[in-house]
Amino acid sequence: MGADQNQLTPGRIFIYVLLTLVALYYLAPLYVMLTTSFKSLEQIRTGTILDLPLSPTTEAWTRAWSGACTGVRCEGLAPYFWNSVSMTIPAVLISSLIGSLNGYVLAHWRFRGSNVVFTALMVGCFIPFQVVILPMARLLGMAGLANTTTGLIIVHIIYGVAFTTLFFRNYYVTVPEELVNAARIDGAGFFTIYRRVIFPLSLPIFMVCFIWQFTQIWNDFLFGVVFGGADAQPVTVALNNLVNTSTGVTEYNVNMAAAIIAALPTLGLYLVAGKYFVRGLTAGAVKG
Give residue-wise pLDDT tens across range 188-202.
888 999 999 999 988
> Among 76, 110, 30, which residue's Cα sits nearest to residue 241?
76
Could you tell me the end-to-end alpha-carbon distance of the chain, in angstroms, rounded to an integer? 32
Query: d(Cα 250, Cα 73) in Å, to the nearest integer?
Result: 11
Tell me, what's the pLDDT at 247? 61
CA distance 243 to 77: 11
Distance of alpha carbon 142 from alpha carbon 152, whole angstroms: 15
What's the pLDDT tens digit per position in 254-281? 999 999 999 999 988 888 887 777 776 6
What percentage of the chain exceeds 90 in pLDDT? 40
Q: How far is it, in rounded angstroms, from Cα 83 to Cα 236?
A: 10
More confident residue, 275 or 185: 185
pLDDT of residue 42: 87
Task: For residues 159 and 226, give the distance between their C-alpha atoms in angstroms, rounded to a whole number.
Answer: 15
Under a CB-based contact definition with an 8 Å cutoff, are residues 94 and 150 in contact?
no
CATH of domain 78-283: 1.10.3720.10
pTM comes to 0.84
Q: Dump pLDDT digits (tens) for 204-239.
A: 899 889 999 999 999 999 999 998 888 889 999 999
Average pLDDT, rounded, for the chain: 86
What would the pLDDT profile of 5-50 be if each residue is shown by its tens digit? Answer: 667 788 888 999 999 999 999 999 999 999 999 998 888 888 888 8
Q: What is the pLDDT of residue 69?
A: 46
User: Taking 80 as the threshold, does the pLDDT of residue 249 lie above it?
Assistant: no
**CB-count burial class (<10 Å; 0-12, 13-18, 19+) for 134:** exposed
* pLDDT for res 211: 92
Does the pLDDT of residue 248 top 80, yes or no?
A: no
Higher pLDDT, 73 or 21: 21
Positive/negative CA dihedral, 64, 68, 70, 71: positive
Per-domain residue ranges of the chain: 2-57, 78-283
Give pLDDT, residue 283. 62
pLDDT digit string, tens, across residues 82-129:
999 999 999 999 999 999 999 999 988 878 888 888 888 888 888 888
Confidence (pLDDT) at 246: 55
* Percentage, residues of the chain above pLDDT 70: 91
